[in-house]
Amino acid sequence: MCDEIIEQKIDITTSVMNKNDLFAAENRGFLKGKGIYTLNLISSPGAGKTTVLESMAHYFGSRMAVIEGDIQTRRDAERIEKAGCQAWQIETGGACHLDAHAVKHAMDQMELDSDILELLAIENVGNLICPSGYDLGENLRIGLLSVPEGDDKILKYPSLFSTINVLVINKMDLLPHLDFDVDRAIEECRSLNPDVLVFTVSAKTGEGMEEFCDFVESNYS
């Protein structure tokens, strides 16, 4: 008689991020096929992501489309539309980050076939932790840090600042009123992330924005 041994341990060996990474790869291929270069903007709430995008809207006009990620409301998308760009709002309904599937779903409903469209900017949910683990299919991951947040934030949020391609330090117009040490922030970011590129801007006054937009454009043109 041969007792059948029931295998109680079952192998799974699956990366939890696998599903997101597959959608991200699909998004990247889809956007490449359309000739659209894609940005993922990540910062804490209120660092100025939407204001930076409004300023970029003046530079790029209808060459840029925007996906807005917020927990609730269409407010940011309305601001972008007013600034002259196509905008799609994702309301995550509580989720603290965007994922590649939500972005794919948004893209399915947007008008991305236009010949003049060359840039898609995705504004992630305001959060320095959770968005960092999710590849959306972007070509450039941009971390935004604003001067009032303090120059010590970079080493406190290494999972974000070690994975960005570009650091944008925003609200430079407020620098005279604060003790933010720009060199310290840049140095700490480089220590985690030696290849990072840094721009200092004020989305409000426009200072540094043209240089930043020139750089974004130079990546694909």
Partner 1 sequence: MHELSLAHDMTRIIGNVLGRKVHLDRVNITVGPLSGISPESLRFCFTEIAKIEGFGEPELVINQTRAKLICLDCDTEYEAEDFYQGCPDCGSLSRKILSGREFTVDSVELEEGED
Ligand X SMILES: Nc1nc2c(ncn2[C@@H]2O[C@H](COP(=O)(O)OP(=O)(O)OP(=O)(O)O)[C@@H](O)[C@H]2O)c(=O)[nH]1
Considering only the stretches 74-82, 94-102, 165-173, 211-219, report the one whose residues sit in contact with partner 1 under the rule CB under 8 A.
94-102
Q: Which is nearer to Mg ion, 76 or 135 (CB)?
A: 76
Provide the CA 219 distance to its chain's centre, in angstroms.
Answer: 16
Residue type at position 197: L
Q: Applying CB under 8 A, does 159 fall inside the site for partner 1?
A: yes
Using the structure block, give the residue that is written with the tokens 């898609």: 120
Q: Is 124 in the site for ligand X (CB under 6 A)?
A: no
Amino acid identity for residue 157 in this structure: Y
Cross-sheet strand order for the sheet of 119-123: 86-91, 64-70, 119-123, 37-42, 140-146, 166-170, 197-200
Under rule CB under 5 A, residue 135 binds Mg ion? no
9 near partner 1, rule: CB under 8 A: yes
Identity of the residue, 17 or 182, whose beta carbon is nearer to partner 1 in the bound complex:
17
Pick from Mg ion, ligand X, partner 1, none: which does 132 bind, CB < 5 to 8 A by kind?
partner 1
Q: Using an 8 Å Cβ cutoff, are 31 and 137 in contact?
A: yes
**Ramachandran sector of residue 183 (left: φ over 0; alpha: ψ -120 to 50; beta: rest):** alpha
What gap in Å lies between CA 40 and CA 111, rounded to an integer?
A: 19
Residue 50 or 139: the one with the smaller Cβ distance to ligand X is 50
Q: Does 19 interact with partner 1 (rule: CB under 8 A)? A: yes
Does position 76 interact with Mg ion (CB under 5 A)? The reply is: yes
By CB under 8 A, name the binding residues for partner 1: 6, 8-17, 19, 95-97, 129-130, 132-133, 155, 158-159, 162, 190-192, 194
